[in-house]
Chains A and B, each alone.
Chain A
Amino acid sequence: MAARARQVVKAYGTGETRVVALDHIDVDIARGQFTAIMGPSGSGKSTLMHCLAGLDNVSSGQIHLDETEITGLKDKKLTQLRRDRIGFIFQAFNLLPTLNAIENITLPMDIAGRKPDRAWLDQVVDTVGLAGRLKHRPTELSGGQQQRVAVARALASRPEIIFGDEPTGNLDSRAGAEVLGFLRRSVTELGQTIVMVTHDPVAASYADRVLYLADGRIVDEMYNPTAEQVLDRMKHFDARGRTS
């Protein structure tokens, strides 16, 4: 297992205003798998990802990354963990405007004071097709190119696991397909573990496994889905949500 959560609860506020975002969740993320987390707005899918990634702390329960328990770690250890063992792709604003593409890609390693693995770096850059644009600043790149740089950055330090928060949410379908294709390939060809939050059935169809969240609980899962299957299942949930 690359990551696992046990009885994770995340609640905001107390008493009357208490809102439970994650309600005793158990989840296992398999190594070398592409996992998509889906669910309607407010289902807690982003919160789950943030907790798994060590960006947010949990109210109770345990989260392990590989053999390391990350719940209860101090900020310093968590930061190191994110830096050395986790990769991130956000929906937007993934890059530092003052750094060019290659500098952004190697930033986590630079911060850690590690030398990037040249051959691997070249391979990653090649894979995402950015070879000609490495010296460009983010403002000189299109939205799709920027997200590809973000993917390259996430891959470059060979993290144990990559978390994506709607990585294609701001892209048109073609650019989105490109980025998702790279993510898929990095799982298939490079054995990378990826967890991605999305509300787009097409994006989810690139995953090996889809987890469905509703009201802070995992309500369903699906392996090797197609976009149609995902859409169907979503409709089902939506309908159920309306009737209940």
Chain B
Amino acid sequence: MTVLRTSMRNFFAHKGRMALSAVAVVLSVAFVCGTLVFSDTMSTTFDKLFAATSADVTVKPKNAPEGDEEGPKNGRPESLPASAIAQVEKADGVKSVEGGITSTSVTVADSKNKNMGPTSGGPTLAGNWTRNELRSMEITSGHAPRGPTEVMVDADTADKHDLKLGEELRTITANGDFKARISGIATFKVTNPGAAVFYYDTKTAQRELLGASGRFTHLSVTAATGVSDAALKQNVTRTLAGDAAAYKVKTQKESADDDRKSVGSFLDVMKYAMLGFAGIAFLVGIFLIINTFSMLVAQRTREIGLMRAIGSSRKQVNRSVLVEALLLGVVGSVLGVGAGIGLAVGLMKLMSGVGMELSTKDLTIAWTTPVVGLALGIIVTVLAAYLPARRAGKVSPMAALRDAGTPADGKAGAVRALIGLVLTGAGAFALYTAGQADKASEGSLFLGGGVVLTLIGFVVVGPVLASLVVRVISAVLLRMFGPVGRMAERNALRNPRRTGATGAALMIGLALVACLSVVGSSMVASATDELDKSVGADFIVRPAGDSGKPLTPQSVRKLREAPHTGHVTRVKEVQTKLTTPGGKTESEALVATDPTYTKDLRRETVSGSVAGAYRGNAMAVGEEFADKHHLKVGDKLTVDFDHGRTVKLTLAAVMSDDTAFDKGAMYTSIATAERYVPAGRMPLDSMLLASADKGQQDAAYKALKAAVAEDPAVQVMNQADFKDDLKDQVGQMLNMVYGLLGLAIIVAVLGVVNTLALSVVERTREIGLMRAIGLSRRQLRRMIRMESVVIALFGALLGLGLGMGWGATAQKLLALEGLKVLEIPWPTILTVFVGSAFVGLFAALIPAFRAGRMNVLNAIATE
């Protein structure tokens, strides 16, 4: 009881000093809980959506895509004949059957050729309006589409693009374009996370979306009262009898589960990535907590000595510190859980900016979320306080009698230095091994091990490095500030362990920033380099955004007719099952192109000639595939074209794997593919490559752009655009990661503030003395600011050095995957370094202000 009381008293007596540690716990816990709440809410949203949109039983064609499988690339979804409706209607327990049509191979544009669908995130869905849709939608204005010139649009899309009844929209499909006026607006009854939905009447949908009358993409079966979905499914399957093999029959639950799979993996990736960053923040927070408790214990040495002298046991002292940590953990975690829910709501708002609309109505807080948050926060805090608590237990009763003055300055031990050096050395060796590896898989293991070992090594050896690095930084920076600079340096050096831990916290975040920026800029540099070396095409035409929708035939026709272009190469992906002479069968996508592809992308071959692959009944494979199956030029491969015939193609070339583009791709000519795949089943072009007539670059560029001005789903890029696009994509990716690492860096900055604030308290008497003998407020503040800057720069120097090492190793390893050029982004590195100095200044603001405000007499009189 006494222990608890003392701990409580101490905790509340020092609540100011605990505040920053608490903030670190709050932030880390909030991030974990926020991530969990956010991803649970997303799951709920999708669950509700899919449950609402699925009929009691759905019948689909056998080869309709499932989950995250890709649909057919011919621009028409798989369909079933209308005659199936009559068949299913005969099944027992059927109340009604409706033929439904849904296609994603659609672009809808307004009169200004602006895409009405999302360009990233959600899909554009087009279909027929049926009673089944009423499960999830209701018409809130106008009426359902009647006839070929009417379209109904969902309310979210109408709001986003300010669409009104009567406005004309153009629908672009592989079967052509057509115009229709908005006859109605339908509102989702559940949250629509970001899809744009367009409804037509059934005949129009069949003609325009499927390119055939009398067909549907699915049947929605409604059960009669009292008939379960499972029973209905059985009945329907039985009724379909011999034709059942051509269909998939699913209950509502099965449909919803399968639909969820299509978003599930995306949700998981997001969740674990964010939890990873939360973990980094926790790691950084640990340093802060250790520092806080170390300082509190040091400052309380005399008090602890007294406790020991009057009979407290080691265990009791030890426990009293741990109980304080427990209190900190509880307070921080409880606040963190609350803040996490707020963070999740904030994230939801943020996501709406990138086309993911979530509603707070679906906010899902699973019981596990607060439990995980509290457990993590409390356990981490108590563990972090364990070492300082043990040190407190070791304080001898004599400490009470000694003149405490300032707590003894911690010295970095030789043993510690040795352990740190050994770890760092081992890590460096692992990194070196990773750089030398000739297989990416084994190299990445060494890379991971090297990263972890060097990180731990640096943390352990940090205090020793602190003495060294601080001296160097001071020699360069602080000496010009005379005695104030010298005192700042001495202050930063007086407790290397504290400076080391504070700097190390900053080091972690910055090391990751440096590493990723090196990898990112190397990626851009390598791709640009490869582009210059091997890409002969002047223009790349590809689907806009990340929709991956193939190009429509009408757009391709216009592009091929564009003036000033030399040649236009079509690129298609054809699904096949490939059987080697050895009898191994693998599912492979052939890249079927026009023969001019060899001019657009110059590739090395290991054997044979690429040109040969474009003659009739020939193909090329990648080096790895050839090695795996012991293939050589001249071998015959059995190719079973999806929806087409099975033929033997002659291997004409083995392509080198030493490339950044199309690694491992198998080539054949479009002419060959067309011979065996029926015209209606031939995939649309996934991309076009084009060259300009000599000296007509600009004219050709304009002509191509003009050719697809009416198709917002197509993007025409010249090489410069392509490079910019690449840079933008990598840049966006890096910015997102930097943003997430920002949390860890904020916690580290709090750590610097914390260390300075506690140091100022600890040095109250010293500060009083200095003020008494004539140090001005301004000089005092400057001294504290400089100490802060030195600590921050120490962390930055270590972090950036370490990170660049990691990045360079990763690049060497990824050189095997085409990342051939190492590019250190010096402007970024320099900005981060200089930025760290400012972070140091910022961190010192409050501690310096408080030190300056101290009353000289009180300060001197402080024990």
Contacts and interface: CB of A to CB of B under 8 A. Distances in A.
Partners in one complex: yes
Contacts of B774: 79-80, 82-84, 108, 111-112
Contacts of A56: 857
A77 B491 CA distance: 27
B530 to A, nearest CB: 56
A108 B773 contact: yes
Contact of A79 (B765, B771, B857): B771
B483 A96 contact: no
A153 interface: yes
A80 B857 contact: no
B143 interface: no
Nearest to B863: A93
A136 to B, nearest CB: 15
Interface in B762-786: 765-766, 769-777, 779
B755 to A, nearest CB: 16
B730 interface: no
B766 A111 contact: no
A119 B856 CA distance: 32
Nearest to A53: B772
Given A97-B406, A97-B766, A55 B857 contact: yes
B180 interface: no
B405 interface: yes
Interface in B844-858: 856-857
A1 to B, nearest CB: 23
Contacts of A88: 772-773
Contact of A90 (B486, B769, B775): B769
Nearest to B860: A90
B169 to A, nearest CB: 73
Contacts of B773: 82-83, 87-88, 107-108, 111, 153
A76 B857 contact: no
B405 A93 contact: yes
- What is the size category of the interface that chain A forms with chain B? 20 to 34
A56 B409 CA distance: 32
Nearest to B406: A97
A209 to B, nearest CB: 25
Contacts of B490: 98-99
A44 to B, nearest CB: 14
B481 to A, nearest CB: 11
A110 B482 contact: yes
Nearest to A143: B403
Nearest to A76: B776
Which of B406, B765, B776 has the largest number of chain A CB atoms within 10 A? Answer: B776
Given A55-B856, A76-B777, A93-B405, A98 B771 contact: no
A96 B766 contact: yes
A93 B769 contact: yes
Contact of A110 (B483, B766, B776): B483
Contact of B772 (A76, A80, A82, A103): A82
B779 A111 contact: yes
Contacts of A110: 482-483
B494 interface: yes
A79 B769 contact: no
Interface string B464-494: 0000000000000000001110110011011
Contacts of B856: 55
A95 B490 CA distance: 14
Interface string A46-78: 000010000110000000000000000001100
Nearest to A113: B482
Nearest to B490: A98
5 contacts: A76-B776, A79-B775, A94-B769, A110-B483, A111-B774
Interface of A: 50, 55-56, 75-76, 79-80, 82-84, 87-88, 90, 92-99, 103, 107-108, 110-113, 153
